[in-house]
């Protein structure tokens, strides 16, 4: 008989709205846990259901088959065995009807030859008439085959059976011959009741499998929640730690691996907080040292500057009172004093930025006029070409804008030579100032470091006229306005520094003041 096979159909759940399923991403650990639990449960349920179905199917069919074959064999011995060797058709028909009325209620077909040697048949008449054409040829051949009798098996003919399917209904068909001569009998038994019972069993096992799958998904969700909650808390704590909240700690409960991970995180955060506090303390001490040193240097430096100014006047005087032998030394002292004075001023400015005490003093500034004043104050008019549209007004800190421009233009004159071209334009709510020289440009390996403090492009020339802080101070002044400075090489040659500042820095200045007031309240 062709076995009925049940197909398991997959199901898909649409993720709609907010809830548990909306949090399941295809790459999330939660979804992977649910899928693994589901696959394990599905495999176990399908295996158990398949084994249970196969065992029950074999038991049901074997029990029914054995009962039917045993009853048919007894009927053949008790009724067909009493027929004469050459029976008539009426005798066969009557005997077939009597055999069909047994407890198993099967159809019977008896075949023999009459006294004239002609084949005669007798059928119980059920199932639209059971005929020889309904018997498979292989079964007829096996039934008609004579067996060689030996000491262990003296029967010349055996009982043979086969399962077939007709129009979707399973049947058991069997046949044998009366030993010692007599008719051949065939039996046809419908297995439809057993098939229905097995189908009911298959549906029950399928429903049990589906319930097991749903239950495993719910258990997986519960397990995932139990496992992932500490992981989520750890992720939140790690983000807070990355945001600088070094006092973040996790609540530890239990003795499992996740609890050990939380303890490790807390120890790491504690060590990191201590290390950062130590570094902050050393950094504050370093800044205080630089600031104190700068202030302490200003007093003697003021006296030295006054002396060097007198010496410089003597050098410029036409009286010739300066001894030519010491004139180079005097000029060196004058230039180095100026350099030291600039270095001290720059260090004090840097310490203000590092300490967060730098503040904007805003005013409405005509950018073109401010650039012209900066160039004129430093006698750079002949070395700078200004291309600026008049009437571009921005609310900025004039002193800090002057510092930015002085550093950018001075750097261009020092390293690129004249003429330096300064262009001014307006874009959206910003002012864009570009300073371009006509020098060799900036090496590609130096570009990322041009704004670093004390950075020297050549290690073999550690000493230069500048302090190495000018561009860094210019960038800090741009940042305090909410702007930016970028450095690049022009396709036409030379370096280009582009300053972009907002047209109105009032909002940023107000936010900075509010932040400082909040910090003071927190400290209090």
495-506 per-position pLDDT tens digit: 999 999 998 888
Q: Residues 156, 179: contact at Cβ < 8 Å? A: yes
> Contact at 8 Å (CB) between 21 and 13?
yes
Q: How many CB atoms lie within 10 A of CB 61?
A: 19
**If you count them, how many residues does the chain have?**
524
Tokens 């969700």 belong to residue: 221
Cα–Cα distance between 299 and 301 in angstroms, integer?
A: 5
* Range 440-451 average pLDDT: 86
- What CATH code would you report for 246-358? 1.10.287
- What per-residue confidence (pLDDT) applies to 415? 82
CATH code, residues 359-457+467-516? 3.30.565.10
Residue 344 has pLDDT above 50, yes or no: yes
Contact 433, 405 (CB under 8 A): yes
- Residue the block writes with tokens 């298959």: 202
Which secondary-structure segment (H or E) carries 270?
A: helix 257-316
Domain with CATH 3.30.565.10 in the chain: 359-457+467-516
Of 52-61, 218-227, 314-323, 479-488, which gets the smallest average pLDDT?
314-323
Q: Provide the pairing of β-strand 495-502 with 363-366.
A: unpaired
Q: Which CATH number fits domain 29-200: 3.40.50.2000, 3.30.160.40, 3.30.450.20, 2.20.28.160?
A: 3.30.450.20
Every domain range in the chain assigned CATH 3.30.450.20: 29-200
Per-residue pLDDT of 360-395, as tens digits, reads 888 898 989 999 999 888 888 888 888 888 888 889
How many CA atoms, within 13 angstroms, populate the side-chain half-sphere of residue 428?
A: 4
Q: What is the pLDDT of residue 257?
A: 79
Q: Is 14 helix (H, G, I), strand (E, B) or coil?
A: coil
* 316-337: pLDDT as tens digits: 766 666 677 777 887 788 777 7
- Report whether pLDDT(17) > 70: no
Which tokens in the block code for residue 436?
């371009």
Residues 167-177: b if buried by 16+ CB within 10 A, e if exposed: eeebbbbbbbb
Task: Express each pLDDT in 56-99 by its tens digit.
Answer: 877 888 888 888 888 888 888 888 888 888 888 888 888 888 88
Instruction: Judge whether 104 and 126 are in contact, CB under 8 Å.
Output: no
Q: Residue 84 in contact with residue 74, Cβ under 8 Å?
A: no
For residue 468, which phi and psi values (nearest 5 degrees)? Answer: 80, 10
Radius of gyration for the alpha carbons in the chain, expressed in angstroms and rounded: 52
For the entire predicted model, the pTM comes to 0.46
- Give pLDDT tens digits for 235-289: 888 888 888 888 888 888 877 777 888 888 889 888 988 888 888 887 777 767 7
- Extract long-range pairs of 94-97: CB within 8 Å, 24+ residues apart: 94/122, 95/122, 96/122, 96/123, 96/124, 97/124, 97/125
Structure tokens at 374: 């900066």
Round to whole Å and give the CA distance between 351 and 181: 124
Closest CA to 362 of 507, 156, 221, 232: 507
Burial of 153 (0-12, 13-18, 19+ CB in 10 A): exposed
Which whole number is the average pLDDT over 197-218? 82
Instruction: Name the E strands within 179-266.
Output: 184-190
pLDDT tens-digit series, residues 138-162: 888 888 877 655 545 555 668 888 8
Examine the pLDDT at 315 and tell me if it is beyond 80: no
If you average pLDDT over every residue of the chain, what do you get? 78
């Amino acid at each position: 008989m062709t076995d009925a096979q049940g197909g398991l159909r997959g199901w898909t759940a649409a993720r709609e709205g907010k809830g548990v399923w909306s949090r399941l991403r295809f790459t999330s650990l939660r979804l992977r846990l649910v899928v693994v639990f589901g696959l394990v449960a599905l495999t176990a349920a399908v295996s158990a259901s398949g084994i249970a179905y196969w065992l029950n199917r074999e038991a049901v069919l074997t029990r029914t088959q054995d009962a039917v074959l045993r009853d048919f064999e007894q009927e053949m011995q008790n009724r067909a065995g009493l027929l004469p060797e050459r029976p008539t058709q009426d005798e066969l028909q009557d005997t077939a009807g009597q055999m069909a009325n047994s407890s198993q209620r099967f159809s019977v077909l008896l075949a023999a030859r009459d006294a004239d040697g002609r084949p005669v048949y007798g059928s119980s008449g059920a199932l639209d008439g059971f005929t020889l054409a309904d018997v498979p040829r292989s079964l007829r051949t096996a039934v008609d085959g004579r067996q060689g009798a030996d000491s262990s098996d003296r029967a010349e003919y055996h009982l043979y059976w086969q399962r077939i399917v007709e129009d979707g209904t399973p049947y058991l068909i069997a046949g044998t011959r009366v030993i010692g001569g007599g008719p051949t009998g065939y039996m046809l038994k419908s297995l439809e009741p057993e098939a229905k019972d097995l189908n009911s069993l298959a549906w029950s096992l399928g429903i049990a499998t589906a319930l097991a799958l749903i239950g495993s998904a719910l258990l997986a969700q519960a397990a995932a929640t139990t496992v992932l909650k500490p992981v989520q808390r750890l992720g939140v704590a790690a983000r807070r730690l990355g945001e600088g909240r070094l006092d973040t700690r996790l609540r530890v409960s239990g003795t499992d691996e996740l609890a050990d991970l939380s303890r490790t995180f807390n120890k790491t955060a504690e060590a990191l907080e201590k290390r950062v506090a130590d570094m902050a303390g050393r950094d504050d001490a370093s800044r205080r040292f630089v600031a104190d040193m700068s202030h302490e240097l200003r007093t003697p430096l003021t006296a030295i500057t006054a002396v060097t100014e007198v010496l410089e006047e003597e050098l410029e005087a036409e009286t010739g009172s300066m001894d030519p032998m010491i004139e180079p030394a005097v000029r060196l002292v004058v230039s180095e004093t100026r350099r030291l004075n600039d270095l001290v001023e720059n260090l004090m400015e840097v310490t203000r930025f590092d300490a967060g005490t730098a503040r904007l003093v805003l005013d409405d500034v005509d950018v073109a006029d401010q650039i012209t004043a900066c160039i004129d104050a430093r006698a750079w008019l002949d070395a700078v070409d200004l291309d600026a549209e008049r009437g571009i007004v921005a609310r900025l800190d004039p002193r800090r804008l002057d510092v930015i421009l002085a550093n950018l233009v001075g750097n261009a004159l020092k390293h690129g030579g004249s003429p330096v071209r300064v262009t001014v334009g307006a874009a959206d709510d910003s002012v864009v100032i570009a300073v371009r020289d006509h020098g060799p440009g900036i090496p590609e390996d130096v570009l990322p470091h041009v704004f670093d403090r004390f950075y020297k492009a050549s290690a073999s020339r550690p000493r230069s006229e500048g302090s190495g802080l000018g561009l860094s101070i210019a960038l800090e002044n741009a940042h305090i306005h909410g702007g930016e400075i970028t450095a690049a090489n022009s396709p036409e040659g030379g370096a280009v520094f582009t300053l972009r500042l907002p047209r109105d820095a009032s909002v940023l200045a107000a936010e900075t003041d509010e932040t400082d007031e909040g910090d003071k309240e927190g400290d209090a």
